[in-house]
Structure 1
Amino acid sequence: MKKDLHPKINTVVFKDISCDYSFLGTTTMHSSETVKWEDGKEYPMIKVEISSESHPFYTGKQRVMDTEGRIDRFKKKYGKK
């Protein structure tokens, strides 16, 4: 097997900046920022913009799309004249 072929897997803390939620996970990404986790150890921290805690699909706060208005605009623009 070739030496140094695969990237090193690190345990890091992902922090959702939109709702101040953090979770521990593994990744091949690197970060210079560190944070002390609940177990007392210090881990690198990677900031993310969205996670399962803030994503509309998981929170149930999805936007209701105005499909009727979109269909009417389409028919108006491309419908038979």
Structure 2
Amino acid sequence: MKEGIHPNYREVCFQDLSNGFKFVTRSCVQTKETIKLDDGRELPLVKLETTSETHPFYTGTQKSVDNLGGRVEKFRNKFARVGLKK
């Protein structure tokens, strides 16, 4: 491996602001805040609006929008007259 071209990875704590969920992973993100964990470690802190704990796709609370089909049909009906001329 070449020297000096790889980022400086370190452990970083990411915190979900909506429910307080925290997880630690390795990252090279720059932060200004730190957090002291229950085990006594002090790590850089990154605050996130949403994580896999609160995102509707991962929690199974995602809502299906059925009116999209209605809009597509409305568009087709509106421009059916314009169509390609043969």
What's the TM-score bracket when you normalise by the shorter of the two chains?
0.7 to 0.9
Secondary structure at the residue paired with 1:72?
Answer: helix
Match of residue 14 from structure 1: 14
Displacement of 1:2 in angstroms is: 3.7
Structure 1: gaps spanning 5 or more residues: none
Aligned-partner Cα distance in 1 for 2:38–2:75: 53
Instruction: Give the TM-score normalised by structure 1.
Output: 0.82
* SS across alignment from 1:34: strand
Distance (Å, rounded) in 1 between the aligned partners of 2:71 and 2:18: 30
The percentage of counterpart residues that share the same residue type is: 38
In structure 2, runs of 5+ residues without a counterpart are none
How many residues matched?
A: 81
RMSD: 1.8
- Aligned residue in 1 for 2:79: 78
- 1:41 shift after superposition: 0.8
Query: Which has the greater radius of gyration?
Result: 2
